[in-house]
Amino acid sequence: MAKILIIEDEAAIRRVLVKILSEENSKYEVFEAEDGLVGIEKIKVEDYDLVLCDIKMPKMDGVEVLEAIKKIKPEIPIVMISGHGDLDTAVNTMRLGAFDYISKPPDLNRLLNTVRNALDRKELVVENKMLKKKVSKNYEMIGESKAISDIKNIIEKVAATDARVLITGPNGTGKELVAHWIHQKSERSKGAMIEVNCAAIPGELIESELFGHVKGAFTSANKDRAGKFEAANGGTIFLDEIGDMSLSAQAKVLRALQENKIQRVGSDKDIKVDVRVIAATNKDLKKEIADNKFREDLYHRLAVILVKVPALNDRREDIPLLVEYFSKKISKEQGSPIKNFSDKAIKKLQQYDWTGNIRELRNVIERLIILGGEEISEEDVKLFATK
């Protein structure tokens, strides 16, 4: 049932609006406030789907009420109620975020159409917000172990902020999934997420890759080129395997984090960037710092939030869920029937030493689906899950 709040100082107008809305549509639950101050207090403690607000009121006029509501609960559509002399003000309230306005005395059809449209708009806004909070199936984190639940809880708290995050854990554990979850659940999800594998880029090229270069900066620099930080402006940059980054590049990343500015290689011109940085590594960065291979000041800049992704051996209770997920996904990719795994096959997989973590498990599942019987048995696991 949609909850509608009417903020109107004239009791006669309130009665008319309540009568129209209550009698015309039993799906509307209508509430009243005799002035703007009372209306705002109600909105602070209760969720409404729509507000009808008069413009000319004592204590606080409708424009002030509109601005206050937009700060408290910006998603609520607000329809302004205007007298003949308030039409210019009513139009101005549209610029301030009002959904629409209706004139006094209210026309029945106009009022009901406006209310329906405003409620439809509210539903669409809520739906879009929920969709934004959903993570693409390509980056699902499968598991119900305490370790995975703890990570999901951290992500829920961190995603809405711009706090930098350092993700640690062995190779193949899914550190990139954590990075994608954080990005997709954040307000930056409408911007790009740019991934950089620091270990895969030669040391002499990493600065150009990250910050771009100008023509003539080095032998093969035939034209100006933007770097990854510029590409990620307004979004997120994911620096994977940051422990393999050169000290020279680390110094420039540190400056970018401190000043929100970068310089292309070969240029002394500052470029402002608005980028959230998420980094990941399989190395012990504190040991790297002790060995003078990683900057301590950069570590502290990156590690505002630390997320440690556990090895698969430390979350064996998640293996049945992972097997089910990968078997469905792989069967769909191959266009083949989904194969079940016997309980003994699952138990055998849980006993293995998964040095390659999730990545290794996925490969084993694919091999078993291709080479195993109609139901994957313990014998299939012994034969084809080569260790």
Q: What type of residue sits at position 143?
A: G
The predicted model gives 91-99 an average pLDDT of 88
* pLDDT at position 145: 95
Alpha-carbon gap, residue 29 to 51, rounded angstroms: 12
The predicted model gives 255-259 an average pLDDT of 92
Q: Which residues contact 110 (CB under 8 A, 6 or more apart)?
A: 102
The model carries a pTM of 0.65
Q: Provide the 3-class DSSP secondary structure of residue 166.
A: strand
- Mean pLDDT computed over every residue of the chain: 90
Tens of pLDDT, residue by residue over 130-166, are 555 555 666 778 999 999 999 999 999 999 999 999 9
Distances 357 to 85, 131, 154 between C-alpha atoms, Å: 71, 30, 22
C-beta contacts of 10-18 below 8 A and 24+ residues apart: 10/54, 13/54, 13/81, 13/104, 13/105, 13/106, 16/105, 16/106, 17/52, 17/106, 17/111
The predicted model gives 367-381 an average pLDDT of 93
Q: Which helix (H) or strand (E) holds 380?
A: helix 378-384
279 beta partners: 166, 239
Confidence band, pLDDT 50/70/90 cuts, at residue 348: very high
Q: Which helix (H) or strand (E) holds 54?
A: strand 50-54
* pLDDT at position 127: 63
Q: What type of residue sits at position 262?
A: I
Closest CA to 306 of 180, 184, 169, 183: 169
Residue 85 is classified by DSSP as G
Confidence band, pLDDT 50/70/90 cuts, at residue 167: very high
* pLDDT at position 337: 87
* pLDDT at position 313: 96
Tens of pLDDT, residue by residue over 276-304, are 999 999 999 999 999 999 999 999 999 99
Tens of pLDDT, residue by residue over 297-338, are 999 999 999 999 999 999 999 999 999 999 999 998 888 889
Residue 129 is classified by DSSP as H
Which DSSP string do the residues of 231-292 spell out, in sequence order?
HTTTSEEEEETGGGS-HHHHHHHHHHHHHSEE--BT----EE---EEEEEESS-HHHHHHTT
